[in-house]
């Protein structure tokens, strides 16, 4: 899931001027992150109105990153969108840009910061799992990705900094190599770690456009 | 008046500067650079040593510059943001200044996908404009990007930047130049000029904003060595604008190499007459030996 967090409200206000504002949320990741579901959208409507910033309408897109769905869902809000000077998007950076692509006559602004592709550990706890490098290597590393989960992206074993299985960069973070070692040992597959992993092909990571 | 470098002296005294590019070798042999530099000694005020140009691995620019310094030849160290983050870049700036490098050209860098290691991860932690600002702050305020203080010597370097008058959208090109000046550029070396009309239009805009008074503008000239090179520059090198007329001349010429030389000389003579132009930067790709003749025939020898 794409993990987002709400932007500081002052920053959001700095984008909005005097409005009127149309608010767009997202039914998927941002709903699950509690940053852009119906609840958060309605809270934002109230908060803005309290600040005397008129809200011309709102919608929860399904999902915001889907160009065709957005086009269809926004049709119903044509009048509200015409009244709006700003469209505040409570979705990931992709959602913001999909709307900016569709709505060319208004300022489309983000209400969230997009953090990473990660796992929901608990309702409000998320952890990075994937850097979308374009060529998955997890299969040879016991189901763990050190590119996403090791701050040094080390591919040939742990650095010397971890203590009691915790990362030197962030003591709240498990050392991914510690987890990997334990898992592979348990499964009798430690020989997997003997291979010298070669420098990666990052060209897949810089691919900007792909059609399937 | 004391100057940071000979190159800066030439520019500051209002003399027409000449710089030339020396590409380091794909190997560790120092003599390749020494030979090129010896051959070109005296024909330019300073020599750009490229930083893995077109993302092809070559000897480090800082090492090439060091070799020139031991020969008492002045280098301009090129430094790109492609391969180093802000920590390495600032460290290299300090190191460069320590060994006597006094001119630094700050670039974003050609994308790694064009070079001989297309699977490499590009760094691009900062861009060229940010790098210019960082070097300026290190030099003038004695602070690193983080705000941390330099404790033992500020790098007294002349800061250079690149500009491409031929890239679209044209209206943005001078805005971007102005940004580089605001960030702290002392001199500008441009993309190779072939399309004089376009270059003149850019210079008109530069002069109308008074930017030629704020920075030294040094257009690039790259002699075309063959028809093949002409076509490569015209159709395959992004950001280079070779007009059809020049392609045609190279196509119909009996001796394309001679014609390429003639075109380069014409361009050099022409840009010298443009108001606000402060020098010429010769990038003779795989043809560095031609530089002395060009400089002499263009009336730019001996150097001041």
Q: What is the pLDDT of residue A124?
A: 83
Helix axes B244-252, B256-272, angle to 10 degrees: 140
Domain ranges of chain A: 2-115, 133-200
Domain ranges of chain B: 6-297
Q: How far apart are CA B17 and CA B103, in angstroms?
A: 14
pLDDT in tens, chain B (304 residues): 799 999 999 999 999 999 999 999 999 999 999 999 999 999 999 999 999 999 999 999 999 999 999 999 999 999 999 999 999 999 999 999 999 999 999 999 999 999 999 999 999 999 999 999 999 999 999 999 999 999 999 999 999 999 999 998 998 999 999 999 999 999 999 999 999 999 999 999 999 999 999 999 999 999 999 999 999 999 998 889 999 999 999 999 999 999 999 999 999 999 999 999 999 999 999 899 999 999 999 999 999 9
Q: How far apart are CA B193 and CA B233, in angstroms?
A: 11
In which band, very low, low, confident or very high, does the pLDDT at A91 lie, cut at 50, 70 and 90?
very high
> B236 CB near a chain A CB, below 8 Å?
no
Q: Taking CB atoms and an 8 Å limit, are A203 and B122 in contact across chains? A: no
Q: Taking CB atoms and an 8 Å limit, are A203 and B118 in contact across chains? A: yes
> A104 CB near a chain B CB, below 8 Å?
no
ipTM of the complex: 0.88
Phi, psi dihedral angles at B228 (to 5 degrees):
-60, -45
Q: What is the CATH number of domain A2-115?
A: 3.40.50
Global pTM? 0.94
Q: Judge whether A182 and A142 are in contact, CB under 8 Å.
A: no
> B120 CB near a chain A CB, below 8 Å?
yes
Find chain B residues with C-beta within 8 A of A203's C-beta: 113, 118-119
> A205 CB near a chain B CB, below 8 Å?
yes
Q: What is the pLDDT of residue A206?
A: 81
Q: Judge whether A106 and A1 are in contact, CB under 8 Å.
A: no
Class of domain B6-297: alpha beta
Please give the interface size between A and B, counted as residue pairs whose CB atoms are below 8 Å apart. 15
* Residue B152: C-alpha distances to residues A91, B100, B131, B133, B144 (Å): 48, 15, 21, 20, 12
Q: Count Cα neighbours of B46 within 13 Å in the Cβ-side half-sphere.
A: 30
Q: Judge whether B16 and B27 are in contact, CB under 8 Å.
A: no
């Amino acid at each position: 899931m794409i993990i987002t967090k709400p932007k500081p409200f002052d920053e959001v206000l700095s984008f909005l001027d005097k409005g009127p504002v149309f608010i767009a949320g997202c039914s998927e990741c941002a709903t699950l992150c509690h940053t852009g579901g119906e609840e958060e959208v309605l809270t934002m409507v109230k908060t803005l109105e309290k600040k005397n910033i008129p809200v011309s309408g709102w919608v929860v897109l399904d999902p915001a990153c889907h160009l065709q769905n957005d086009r269809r869902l926004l049709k119903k809000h044509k009048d509200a969108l015409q009244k709006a000077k700003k469209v505040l998007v409570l979705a990931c950076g992709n959602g913001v840009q999909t709307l900016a692509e569709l709505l060319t006559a208004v300022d489309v602004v983000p209400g969230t910061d997009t953090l990473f592709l990660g796992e929901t550990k608990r309702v409000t706890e998320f952890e990075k799992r994937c850097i979308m490098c374009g060529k998955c290597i997890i299969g040879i590393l016991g189901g763990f990705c050190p590119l996403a989960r090791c701050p040094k992206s080390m591919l040939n074993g742990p650095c010397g900094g971890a203590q009691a299985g915790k990362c030197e960069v962030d003591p709240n973070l498990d050392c991914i190599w510690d987890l990997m070692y334990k898992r592979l040992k348990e499964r009798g597959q430690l020989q997997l770690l003997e291979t010298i992993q070669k420098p990666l092909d990052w060209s897949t990571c810089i691919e900007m456009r792909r059609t399937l | 008046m004391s100057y940071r470098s000979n190159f800066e002296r030439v520019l500051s005294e209002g003399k027409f500067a000449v710089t030339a590019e020396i590409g380091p070798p794909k190997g560790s042999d120092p003599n390749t650079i020494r030979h090129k530099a010896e051959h070109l000694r005296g024909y330019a005020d300073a020599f750009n040593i490229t930083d893995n140009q077109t993302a092809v691995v070559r000897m480090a620019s800082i090492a090439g510059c060091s070799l020139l310094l031991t020969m008492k030849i002045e280098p301009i160290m090129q430094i790109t943001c492609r391969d180093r983050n802000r920590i390495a870049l600032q460290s290299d700036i300090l190191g460069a200044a320590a060994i006597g490098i006094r001119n630094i050209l700050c670039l974003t860098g050609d994308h790694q996908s064009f070079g001989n290691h297309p699977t490499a991860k590009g760094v691009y932690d900062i861009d060229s404009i940010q790098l210019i600002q960082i070097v300026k702050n290190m030099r003038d305020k004695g602070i690193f990007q983080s705000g941390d203080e330099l404790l033992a010597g500020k790098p007294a370097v002349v800061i250079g930047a690149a500009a491409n008058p031929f890239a679209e959208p044209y209206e943005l090109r001078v805005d971007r130049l102005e940004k580089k000046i605001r960030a702290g550029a002392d001199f500008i070396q441009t993309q190779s000029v072939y399309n004089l009309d376009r270059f003149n239009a850019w210079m008109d805009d530069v002069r109308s904003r008074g930017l030629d008074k704020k920075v030294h503008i040094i257009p690039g000239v790259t002699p075309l060595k063959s028809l093949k090179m002409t076509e490569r520059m015209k159709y395959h090198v992004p950001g280079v604008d070779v007009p059809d007329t020049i392609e045609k001349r190279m196509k119909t010429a009996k001796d394309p190499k001679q014609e390429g030389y003639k075109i380069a000389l014409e361009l050099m003579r022409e840009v010298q007459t443009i108001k606000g132009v402060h020098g010429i930067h010769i990038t003779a790709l795989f043809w560095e030996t031609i530089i002395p003749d060009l400089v002499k025939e263009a009336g730019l020898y001996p150097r001041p």
